[in-house]
Amino acid sequence: MPIVTIQQGPRDVEQKRELVRKVTEAFMEALEVPAESVYVWIQEYQAENWGVAGKLTADR
């Protein structure tokens, strides 16, 4: 049972649907497992809660 965790900034529900669909398809193809066995969790973080290159994303 693959469990995939995606950490990202906020996205709309349509983008998340597409992401989950494509990630599931990739795992089905790569590992030859049924869709029902692929779990995808999305953790969303606001721009003030993560940073890149030493700066908060909210400050970029």
Query: Which residues carry out catalysis?
Result: 2
Distance CA 11, CA 23 (A): 16
The b-or-e profile of 20-35 (16+ CB within 10 A means b, else e) is beebbeebbeeeeeee
